[in-house]
């Protein structure tokens, strides 16, 4: 704790208090500042002299004193000269005459904690008739007695001073915190300061407060002692490099039992606990060093694998022999810290990286190839559009009509052997587009022929067809080439139908001849000879 806002508290206004855990702290009544350390104006001359030098006194197990330097971290069984000089400078303080007390035992006082009447004695018995009565007090008969007893009892102006004097008596009598109140009374009752507190309840409360304070101080001293012992023990163990992280207590004890620090405690359990704590630190450090070495070895192994130029499809059985036979791998001791599992893991990660690189490169090549193919296709489509614009590709155009015009063009040659749509497929796609565009025109031509009841025959000429189309507004704007194309297709249908009718008639004729032949063959008696003529056997009314 520090003073409020860092302002130093004026001396002479400090008081001692305890927090909820029982720890002592100091409180300034003016600035309200608090602090853990004892202010200089509350220290005795001896405390001030000892507080200004680094050596502190401690008690080891068994009650032996030793001294510890808080700056150099050294310890000594012999009292240091500096400590002796500090003690020598503490001259006894001359006893000053007490001021006139504001509080007098048996008299009227402004402190509610002090009764005005005489208290009972510490054994619970009321004072007898021979008891000496203090000055100003009334005895049992109502008369005033002499003031001799009151002159032998200590008087203090405040309850706090009286309590401090009583607690000082307890310290001087070496009262232990585990004593009972009866033990404490027997050890201190003959001292004049025993009656610094008049009320037995106040004495017992002060004793309990003292016991709590002593216990806290003992606990703090024990913590400080153990902390110092732990530091010294660690220093001692570090001075023995033969003690490793795997060394056991039964092995280490003969090595260190001759050391001064080892003998500074008689508790073997405590020694072993400090040794185990040191071993835990060694193990932790060893684990950290192994982790660093292993990471360094793994990093170098990655570089080694890269230098081996392995293929993405290399198998572990092949790579293991290559790695273990490598001179760098055999010569570097760091690699000895790696297990086969570590090496296999590094190999798998390296192969995965090679596969990713290989796949990425293949994907880039695939994307580049697809881009080239798309560009080739676009350039070939531009070639077809040029032919279409020149009127060379239209509905009904044949591939053999176009091939002689494009077979040496680089745009056509680049498409050959390319996956996807072929040059012929793209050509037919464009012709199909022209066919779809021709359908609406063809429907208008069909409507005009139907309305005019005009029938195309094998003898109809192209000019006759154009003349008919020119007479209707729906077909007058159609180009002659388109009309000729439609006429040729219609004429092809007529000719094909005429040819089909001719074939059908011929087939019918052949069937009739076959039927006649079959009839003649199945007559009951032959009537036809080599000299028979048709007129002799023709049925009546049978057409010639």
pLDDT in tens, 228-256: 989 999 999 999 999 999 999 999 999 99
Paired tokens of 35: 């602090």
Write down the pLDDT at residue 239: 92
DSSP letter for each residue of 520-534: HHT-SS----TT--H
The pLDDT of residue 282 is 93
CA angle 416, 419, 420 (to 5 degrees): 110
Contact call for residues 497 and 457 (beta carbons, < 8 A): no
CA 394/CA 138 separation, integer angstroms: 147
What's the rounded mean pLDDT across residues 14-42? 79
Euclidean distance between CA atoms 246 and 286, whole angstroms: 10
Confidence of residue 495 (pLDDT cuts 50, 70, 90): confident
Position 97 scores a pLDDT of: 40
- Number of C-alpha atoms within 13 angstroms, CB side, residue 225? 18
pLDDT given for residue 6 in this prediction = 38
Q: Is the pLDDT of residue 415 over 80?
A: yes
More confident residue, 324 or 370: 370
Query: Comparing 109 with 490, which gets the higher pLDDT?
Result: 490
Beta bridge partners of 56: 68
**Would you give the DSSP letter of residue 92?**
P
With residues binned 3-state (H G I as helix, E B as strand, rest as coil), the percentages for the chain, rounded to 5, are 55, 5, 40
Question: Cβ distance 474 to 448 under 8 Å?
Answer: yes
pLDDT in tens, 435-470: 887 888 888 888 888 888 888 888 888 888 888 888
What is the average per-residue pLDDT within 496-509? Answer: 86
For 29, phi and psi rounded to 5 degrees? -75, -15
pLDDT over threshold 70, residue 116: no
Rg (CA), the chain: 63
Q: Are 187 and 168 in contact (CB under 8 A)?
A: no
Residue scoring higher pLDDT (437 or 410): 410
Which of the residue ranges 129-133, 322-326, 352-356 has the most confident prediction, judged by mean pLDDT? 352-356
Rounded CA separation 194/169 (Å): 7
Q: Determine which of 33-47, 118-132, 220-234, 522-536 has the lowest per-residue pLDDT on average.
A: 118-132
Query: Given this model, what pLDDT does residue 310 score?
Result: 87
| Tokens 């170098």, residue located | 300
What does the angle CA 161 – CA 146 – CA 156 come to, to the nearest 5 degrees? 5
Question: Cα separations (Å) of 451 from 464, 465, 466?
Answer: 16, 14, 16
Question: What is the Cα–Cα distance from 103 to 111, expressed in whole angstroms?
Answer: 8
Task: Kindly indicate the confidence band of residue 143, based on its pLDDT and cuts at 50, 70 and 90.
Answer: very low
What pLDDT does residue 12 have? 54
For the ranges 35-44, 125-134, 167-176, 289-298, the lowest mean pLDDT is seen at: 125-134
Per-residue pLDDT, 528: 65
Sign of the CA dihedral with 424 first, then 429, 431, and 435 last: positive
pLDDT score of 140? 35
Asked whether residue 367 carries a pLDDT value surpassing 90, the answer given is yes
Position 354 pLDDT exceeds 80: yes
The predicted model scores a pTM of: 0.38
User: Under 8 Å CB-to-CB from 427, ≥6 apart: which residues?
Assistant: 384, 393, 399, 402
pLDDT tens digits, 314-340: 899 888 888 888 888 888 888 888 888
Share above pLDDT 70 across residues of the chain, in percent, rounded to a whole number = 82
The per-residue pLDDT for range 163-200, each reduced to its tens digit, is: 999 999 999 999 999 999 999 999 999 998 899 898 99
Asked if residue 119 has pLDDT above 60, the reply is no
| Better-scored residue on pLDDT, 505 or 48 | 505
Are the beta carbons of 376 and 414 closer than 8 angstroms?
Answer: yes
CA angle centred on 23, ends 184 and 21, rounded to 5°: 100
Q: How far is CA 409 from CA 268, 454, 535, in A?
A: 102, 46, 74
Mean pLDDT of the chain: 80
Using alpha carbons, select from 6, 46, 1 the residue that is nearest to residue 19: 1
67 or 147, greater pLDDT: 67
* pLDDT at residue 112, rounded to an integer: 35
Q: Answer whether residue 125 shows pLDDT above 60.
A: no
- What is the reported pLDDT for 9? 46
What pLDDT, on the 0 to 100 scale, is given for residue 62? Answer: 65
């Amino acid at each position: 704790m520090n003073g409020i806002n860092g302002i130093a508290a004026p001396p002479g206004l400090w008081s001692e208090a305890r927090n909820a855990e029982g720890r002592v702290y100091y409180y300034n009544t003016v600035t309200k500042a608090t602090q853990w350390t004892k202010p200089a104006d509350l220290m005795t001359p001896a405390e001030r002299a000892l507080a200004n030098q680094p050596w502190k006194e401690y008690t080891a197990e068994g009650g032996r004193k030793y001294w510890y330097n808080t700056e150099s971290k050294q310890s000594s069984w012999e009292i240091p000269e500096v400590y002796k000089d500090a003690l020598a400078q503490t001259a006894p303080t001359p006893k000053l005459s007490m001021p006139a007390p504001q509080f007098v035992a048996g008299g009227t006082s402004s402190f509610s904690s002090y009764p005005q009447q005489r208290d009972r004695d510490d054994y619970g018995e009321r004072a007898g008739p021979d008891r000496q009565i203090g000055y100003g007090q009334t005895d049992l008969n109502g008369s005033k007695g002499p003031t001799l007893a009151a002159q032998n009892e200590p008087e203090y102006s405040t309850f706090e001073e009286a309590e401090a004097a009583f607690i000082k008596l307890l310290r001087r009598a070496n009262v232990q915190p585990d004593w009972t109140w009866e033990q404490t009374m027997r050890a201190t009752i003959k001292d004049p300061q025993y009656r610094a507190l008049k009320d037995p309840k106040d004495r017992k409360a002060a004793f309990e407060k003292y016991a709590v304070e002593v216990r806290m101080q003992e606990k703090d001293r024990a913590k400080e002692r153990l902390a110092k012992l732990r530091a010294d023990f660690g220093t001692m163990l570090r001075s023995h490099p033969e003690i490793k992280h795997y060394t056991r207590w039964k092995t280490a004890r003969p090595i260190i039992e001759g050391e001064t620090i080892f003998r500074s405690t008689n508790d073997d359990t405590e020694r072993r606990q400090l040794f185990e704590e040191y071993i835990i630190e060694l193990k932790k450090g060893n684990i950290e060093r192994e982790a660093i070495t292993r990471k360094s070895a793994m990093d170098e192994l990655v570089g080694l694998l890269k230098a081996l130029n392995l293929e993405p499809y290399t198998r572990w059985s092949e790579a293991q022999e290559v790695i273990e036979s490598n001179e760098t791998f055999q010569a570097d001791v760091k690699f000895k810290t790696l297990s086969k599992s570590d090496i296999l893991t590094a190999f798998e990660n390296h192969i995965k990286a090679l596969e990713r690189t290989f796949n990425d490169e293949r994907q880039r090549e695939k994307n580049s190839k697809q881009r080239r193919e798309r560009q080739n296709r676009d350039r070939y489509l531009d070639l077809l559009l040029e032919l279409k614009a020149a009127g060379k590709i239209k509905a009904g155009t044949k591939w053999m009509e176009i091939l002689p015009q494009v077979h040496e063009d680089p745009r056509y040659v680049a498409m050959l052997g390319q996956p996807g749509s072929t040059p012929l497929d793209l050509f037919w796609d464009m012709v199909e587009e022209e066919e779809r565009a021709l359908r609406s025109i063809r429907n208008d031509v069909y409507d005009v022929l139907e309305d005019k009841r005009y029938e195309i025959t094998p003898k109809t000429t192209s000019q006759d067809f154009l003349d008919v189309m020119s007479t209707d507004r729906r077909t007058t704007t159609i180009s002659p080439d388109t009309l000729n194309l439609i006429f040729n297709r219609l004429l092809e249908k007529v000719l094909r139908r005429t040819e089909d009718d001719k074939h059908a008639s011929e087939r019918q004729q052949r069937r009739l001849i076959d039927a006649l032949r079959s009839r003649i063959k199945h007559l009951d008696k032959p009537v036809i000879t080599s000299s028979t003529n048709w007129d002799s056997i023709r049925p009546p009314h049978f057409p010639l």
